Chains A and B, each alone.
Chain A
Amino acid sequence: MSAPLLSAEGLTLRFGRVPALLGVSLDLFPGEVLAIVGESGSGKTTLLRVLSGQAAPQEGRVLYRGQDIAAMGEAALRRLLRSEWGYVHQNPRDGLRMSVSAGGNVGERLMAAGVRHYGRIRAAAREWLARVEIDPARMDDLPGTFSGGMQQRLQIARTLVTHPALVFMDEPTGGLDVSVQARLLDLIRGLVADLGLSVLLVTHDIAAARLLAGRILVMRRGEVVEQGLTERVLEDPQHPYTQLLVSSVLAA
């Protein structure tokens, strides 16, 4: 087995007396989709923020390609975040620039990476909009005129345009209606397979985790209570909390 792309060792973070993370360790291997599931307030999003360097843990460390991200410095971390990494927010308005056209949103990471050719930026934006099933004719429209599902797909296009190796997704299907969710999950699954992405997917939606993830990590009150292959965890949950979680999924 190859070396992990991202690994965390003993992450602990408390907000005052409230523990958000308690000794969380995990490994993410290249090309793997790892889902982090758990109820609201279990520390999922905090874990994602710590893993992506946006919050510092009080104990433990995060290694990216064997390098401690805390020792990298802010400049290097930012460079990572806008080139090799991607972050898809739950609310597309957090990840998009609402005053900038769809094409500009997709092109921003290219421009930040130093591309200075208008025509090539347009061509890349057009290609990516088509890939996420947005009509390229709407390239010059503002994201505010898009539906929620389109905004989320636009955010994904904007994130993937620089071909990141690792993408953090925070509830990418949250707030969308069920049919739109299904199409979005399908789209993400296709892109992940095509691009060989490694993904850390935070979700409370067990169905989304089942569809996308190879491995699952179950969190409760800041602790990892169970982890393993998706099929194994969902078919044969060991921890009482996981059993509760799996049994509470509504059968369609």
Chain B
Amino acid sequence: MSGVPGFSYAYLDEGTKRMLRRTLLKAVAIPGYQVPFGAREMPLPYGWGTGGIQVTAAIIGPSDVLKVIDQGSDDTTNAVSIRRFFRRVAGVATTERTTEATIIQTRHRIPETPLREGQILVYQVPMPEPLFRLEPRLAETRRLHALADYGLMQVRLYEDIVRHGAIATAYNHPVMVDGRYLMSPSPIPAFDNPKMHRMPALQLFGAGREKRIYAVPPYTDVVSLDFEDHPFRPIRAPHACALCGAADSYLDEVLTDDSGGRIFVCSDTDYCATRQAARQAAE
């Protein structure tokens, strides 16, 4: 495939990939710091993962095995399309198994199966700035990051407790990376936040519309913001998965009929399928 004249491996031209790799190296060198980059037009709309797909295109090679999930699911339109895209333009193998993948591009979830060294988790990020909504001026947010002036975010959590009795951010709960930069974990559920802490895999974050890349290198401290007397709690629905019985995974609520019937199932489809297969094999 790479022998075809006029064809550039993995869709992007070499200059763009080099720019992306330099950005990624800088991002890894300064954990949690948002590095600006020149995001390109990609063959999918903004908000569908243009940032993630560019990061993946910059790091993917012929020997990689790619998994793409959308809200934990391997079989949604977005995940299927991005997998097919890289099969065509990079000639890579794709998988739905978390353990087999070398690169996992994700939107809004971290797989339940713990990741290992050598794997790379690529997040699609809609809004990279954690101080967004608190401070409307981007120039000022950059100054706040530079001075590590994060009292404002703590004030928001304080207001949450005042109004709701508890910290009410169920997703996109802000984290401190390596004790220095405040970082938006992208809209993953707060349940997934603890998985980022000292994760053996490399975590890369791409925001295409906002033109920012940031990263968390392996085994880096990632601490969710909280108060000493109101500690951070990862929240999950208090049920077991209706399909595989897991009591420790993040659940989606699914309506089953028009008369109020509903079940809770694992949001991570690979985790659920693996557990169901193991149970069938045991029977």
Contacts and interface: CB of A to CB of B under 8 A. Distances in A.
Interface of A: 74-75, 78, 82, 97, 100-101, 103-104, 107-109, 111-113, 116-119, 121, 140
Interface of B: 143, 146-147, 149-152, 154-155, 158-159, 161-163, 226-230
What DSSP secondary structure best describes chain A's contact surface? helix
A78 B140 CA distance: 13
B159 to A, nearest CB: 5
Given A97-B155, A100-B155, A104-B155, A118 B147 contact: no
A104 B147 contact: no
A101 B227 contact: no
A74 B152 CA distance: 18
The listed residue with most B CB atoms (<10 A of its CB), out of A74, A109, A112, A113, is A112
A108 B151 contact: yes
A112 B151 contact: yes
Contact of A104 (B150, B158, B229): B158
The 10 closest A-B pairs by CB, nearest first: A112-B151, A111-B154, A118-B227, A111-B151, A117-B228, A75-B147, A118-B230, A119-B229, A118-B229, A108-B155
A117 B227 contact: yes
A147 to B, nearest CB: 21
30 contacts: A74-B143, A75-B146, A75-B147, A78-B149, A82-B151, A100-B155, A103-B162, A104-B155, A104-B158, A104-B159, A107-B155, A107-B158, A108-B152, A108-B155, A109-B151, A111-B151, A111-B158, A112-B150, A112-B151, A112-B154, A113-B151, A116-B154, A116-B227, A116-B228, A117-B228, A118-B161, A118-B227, A118-B228, A118-B230, A121-B158
A102 to B, nearest CB: 10
A21 B182 CA distance: 40
Contacts of B159: 100-101, 104
Contacts of A100: 155, 159
A107 B230 CA distance: 16
Nearest to A112: B151
A74 B143 CA distance: 10
Nearest to B143: A74
Contacts of A108: 151-152, 155
Contacts of A82: 151
A117 B229 contact: yes
A101 to B, nearest CB: 6
Contacts of A119: 229
Contacts of B158: 103-104, 107, 111, 118, 121
A97 B152 CA distance: 10
Contact of B147 (A74, A107, A111, A121): A74
Nearest to A140: B162
B18 to A, nearest CB: 34
Contacts of A112: 149-152, 154
A121 B162 CA distance: 12
